[in-house]
Structure 1
Amino acid sequence: MLLQTCRQEMKYVIPVAEFYKIRPLLAACLSLDTSGGPEGYTVRTLYFDDAYETDVQDVLDGMLNKQKVRLRLYPPDTSKIKLEYKCKTDTNVMKHAIVLSKPEAVAMITGDCDFLLQREEPFAKEVFARIKLGAYLPRVIVSYRRLAYVQPMSDIRVTFDEQITAGFSPRAFFDADPADWPVLTPDYGVLEVKYSAYMPGYLQKILMQIDDISGANSKYINARLLL
């Protein structure tokens, strides 16, 4: 099954304390994401890059067009894994995703992605070509705790990620704790705001209380810079 989303995306690196100041305001106008409990859920992502580390370099060079290839799961459940291809132009984001079995994900981590040719989704063959032509390899694991608020009718999603850590052994992706290098100091996190058509005025007012500037605050890039 192919999952596809197209949204605007803004990111802010802010103090954890500052997020918890605006959390009651978010809770008053958005719904807590039901996929996690009241205190959120864990996200673990394994990022891939080509032989020349083009995807990292495009971000560091400030390129408007950027891509990411990644595997994602939600511990402690390691049975549902998504292969995602994320394309970003300025603040416009298009994300394609398919669900993989654990054996498929393990094969991809060890360098065998031929199974993608047997998938029915056209996207699977597109990402296969990208991986093969670019000689993509798994690079870094990023893990964090996420709290999410949503407004399905307006396709709005606001997330706050904290306890962000990195691990540099891709084959440890399914281990209990594969990422133990802090990416940010414990008192900081990443706030992401995603919306389709426009950002409502009430949300703009809430974000005005954040003493920061939206920018290319990629957890992946921050993790890679630890190397």
Structure 2
Amino acid sequence: MNLKYRHELKYFINQHQYQIIRQRLKNLVKQDKHVGPTGEYAIRSLYFDDINNKALHEKLGGIRDRAKYRIRIYNNDDRIIHFEKKIKFRDYIAKLKEPLTREIAEKLISGNYEVLRHSDKPLLIELHEEMKNNLLRAKVIVDYVREPFVCENGNVRITFDKDLRTGLNEVDMFDANLHCVRAIDDNLIILEVKYDEYIPEYIRLALQLEGLNRQSASKYVMCRKFLKTNSWEDY
């Protein structure tokens, strides 16, 4: 598997900071080509973890090198479904992904890993082994709205993630009417900055990152804390 590692910075910002930074960026960079008329799109991910909640405990324990698995869709649409593995290595991140059909996605969500038994895709072979040997299973839905900006210099991607919600114990990620509850303070937005080798100085000045509240809590962890207690949720 070919991995492209990138830097990733995360910050909590309030509505006032968001308005200021967003206004600066609009004069400097372009919006992502996939946004809708509002300049945003919706992201829904269903995260998986194993019988020991390895991904959760490694994050809470501060383990630097770790990985998470998820199925992701956009705008509650099943035309594009990806299974993804997000890898953290030291201060870098990388992502691997493979497309899924809705039929296969639903079987994986139900715990049926045999649908991947004859796959020739390394990532899906890995998923099959994780589900079979380590009881990797769907755990929590993470739902939010993203407003993305991109800058070709340094391959910088800046996103404002808003209205973070979780689907509690429900795992039907294709349900457009899924009942989700807010998993973050109403006034908070998650600012993420991803880049290859450098952030151009004019972008750094616009973001003024040094004055922001850098945070490490993942959306997965923030949403897991809202889960109702199940036999595997007693962490």
User: Which is further off, 187-196 or 214-223?
Assistant: 214-223
Alignment of 1:1-227 (within 5 A): 5-37=4-36, 38-152=38-152, 154-208=154-208, 211-227=211-227
Letter paired with 2:30: S
> Normalising by the residue count of structure 1, what TM-score does the alignment of the two structures yield?
0.91
Deviation of the 1:19 alpha carbon: 1.2
For residues 102-153 of structure 1, the C-alpha deviation after alignment (integer angstroms, 9 at most, x for no partner) is 0010010000122333333222212322332221111110111100001245
Check whether the contact 1:162–1:186 (CA below 8 A) recurs between aligned residues. Answer: no
* Pairwise CA RMSD: 1.9
Deviation of the 1:63 alpha carbon: 1.2
Letter paired with 2:180: D
User: Which is further off, 170-179 or 156-165?
Assistant: 170-179
Query: What are structure 1's unaligned runs of at least 5 residues?
Result: none
> Normalising by the residue count of structure 2, what TM-score does the alignment of the two structures yield?
0.89
Q: Sequence identity, in percent?
A: 29
Check whether the contact 2:43–2:74 (CA below 8 A) recurs between aligned residues. Answer: yes
Check whether the contact 1:160–1:190 (CA below 8 A) recurs between aligned residues. Answer: yes
Deviation of the 1:29 alpha carbon: 2.1
Letter paired with 1:87: I
Letter paired with 1:191: L
Q: Secondary structure at the match of 2:73?
A: strand
Deviation of the 1:176 alpha carbon: 0.9
Q: Secondary structure at the match of 1:29?
A: coil
Q: Secondary structure at the match of 1:220?
A: helix
Deviation of the 1:88 alpha carbon: 0.5
Q: Secondary structure at the match of 2:185?
A: coil
Distance in structure 1 (CA, Å) of the matches to 2:20 and 2:87: 32
Q: Secondary structure at the match of 2:5?
A: strand
Check whether the contact 2:44–2:76 (CA below 8 A) recurs between aligned residues. Answer: no
Letter paired with 1:131: M
Q: Secondary structure at the match of 2:214?
A: coil
Deviation of the 1:79 alpha carbon: 2.1
Deviation of the 1:9 alpha carbon: 0.6
Letter paired with 2:35: G
Deviation of the 1:181 alpha carbon: 1.2
Inter-CA distance 32–201: structure 2 relative to 1 (3 Å threshold): same
Deviation of the 1:44 alpha carbon: 0.3
For residues 46-99 of structure 1, the C-alpha deviation after alignment (integer angstroms, 9 at most, x for no partner) is 001111111011111111112110000012322211100011123300110001
Check whether the contact 1:16–1:162 (CA below 8 A) recurs between aligned residues. Answer: no
Distance in structure 2 (CA, Å) of the matches to 1:151 and 1:176: 32
